[in-house]
Amino acid sequence: MLLKLSTRLNLLFATATVLLSCASLSAQVTRIPLPDNSTFPISQGVWVGDTLYLSGTMGLEKGAPPGDTKTQTIAALKSIEKALNAQKLDLGDVVMMHVYLAGDPAKDNKNDFAGFMAGYTQFFGTPTQPNKPARSAMQVAALVAPGALVEIEVIAVKKK
């Protein structure tokens, strides 16, 4: 079936608009390398325009025992806060958060959502930092690091 000329022109215009938008976005992409000259093949974060996408952060500290979900949540959020501060952002700029919770062997391999919330509420929805991001939280079979119970990735937007 032949499309009318006006329909074909509209499709062509829409396609050109999308392509130009993509080209414009690719010119605004800035990748932040992992700290400590890590050669692991990911970026700590990626700026696209005024939006920063941070890779997943776990709450494990080198040489320290893994700790429970609350302890790991606090450690992960402190690391995220440090990464945001290095980019002249703060936790109040976080607009979206994805939380991955592994089953805790001390809790019959069930996630400790209450422990996560006990750590999370120290950083979000407080009198000093009232902003709360949109958020997804899910239990996963396991996280890549032994002993890891929490991994958090965030999207933050620079204030105008």
Tens of pLDDT, residues 86-133: 999 999 999 999 999 999 999 999 999 999 999 999 999 999 999 999
| Number of Cβ atoms within 10 Å of the Cβ of 45 | 24
Q: How many folded domains does the chain comprise?
A: 1
Q: Report the SS3 class of residue 59.
A: coil
The CATH number for 144's domain is 3.30.1330.40
Determine, yes or no, domain membership for 11.
no
Residue 50 inside a domain? The answer is yes
Tokens standing for residue 51 = 């939006």
Question: Whole-model pTM?
Answer: 0.81
Residue-number span of the structural domain to which 79 is assigned: 30-157
Please name the helix (run of DSSP H) or strand (run of DSSP E) that holds residue 138, with its range, or none: strand 134-140
* Structure confidence at residue 8 as a pLDDT band (50, 70, 90): low
In a domain, 64, yes or no: yes
Only one residue has tokens 């215009």, namely: 13
The dihedrals phi and psi of 85, each to the nearest 5 degrees, come to -60, -35
d(CA 91, CA 130): 10
In a domain, 12, yes or no: no
Q: Answer whether residue 89 is part of any domain.
A: yes
pLDDT digits (tens, 9 = 90+) for 12-58: 555 655 555 555 555 599 999 888 888 888 989 999 999 999 999 99
